[in-house]
Amino acid sequence: MSKIGSKLISIPATVTVSIDKQKITIKGKEDQLVIEFPTRLRVVNKDNQLVIETLSNDKKTHSWHGLFRQLIYNAVVGVEKPWEKKLEVFGTGYNVKLQGQDLVFKLGFSHPVVFKTVPGIKFQVDGNNKLTVLGANKQLVGEIAYQIKLIKKPDSYKGKGIRYAGEIIKLKPSKKVKATGAVGAA
């Protein structure tokens, strides 16, 4: 039996949960998420705690037990306090700005790069080079942060580009001029 799947999920006072057959709707202050789960599982609300129960005893059901428990838990936490991923823009002249709901990057290309907003995701920009991606859906927040990082991956020689906050980039050594033994010999 899954150790993760057997853990209870406590529901905060600010979150409402409704279960309809194989769908669970989780509503928070600002956001709402709907998760569909397989027929081999059942979700029960007991005293403001969610219990995920298995209806069969095979390997696939046990793997889904832990997975869907964690997906529901992430949704409950996300609608109460949004998930976030922090990114940093490194490089001389490189910056990011918020233009309406969209992001505008200057990354050394001949033109600014515009990243359009995605439903369910909010952006915050601190200064010229710090960016935070916020949202209730943990998977979507991570996916959007990765797509933003792909716009300009960090350079392996100088480290210029977009990286996660706190990410350490191992830089390659640059080419060095070889010193010759005889200088000015005629």
Domains (range + CATH), the chain = 9-80 (3.90.930.12), 83-164 (3.90.930.12)
pLDDT of residue 176: 76
pLDDT of residue 6: 85
pLDDT of residue 26: 95
Looking at the chain, the whole-number percentage of residues with pLDDT higher than 90 is: 69
pLDDT of residue 11: 93
| CB within 8 Å of 144: residues ≥ 6 apart | 85, 118, 121, 133, 135
pLDDT of residue 185: 55
pLDDT of residue 173: 87
First to last CA, the chain: 83
Q: What is the pLDDT along the chain (186 residues), one digit of tens a residue?
A: 558 888 999 999 999 999 998 999 999 988 999 999 999 999 999 988 999 998 888 888 888 998 999 999 999 999 999 999 999 999 999 999 999 999 999 999 999 999 999 999 999 999 999 999 999 999 999 999 999 999 999 998 898 999 999 999 899 987 776 666 555 555
Dihedrals phi, psi of 161, to nearest 5 degrees: 145, -160
pLDDT of residue 182: 59
pLDDT in tens, 74-102: 999 999 999 999 999 999 999 999 999 99
Please check whether residue 93 is in contact with residue 70, taking contact to mean a CB–CB distance below 8 angstroms: no
How far CA 88 is from CA of 92, 166, 183, in Å, comes to 13, 9, 46
Model pTM score: 0.85
pLDDT in tens, 47-56: 889 999 988 8
Looking at residue 102, its amino acid is D
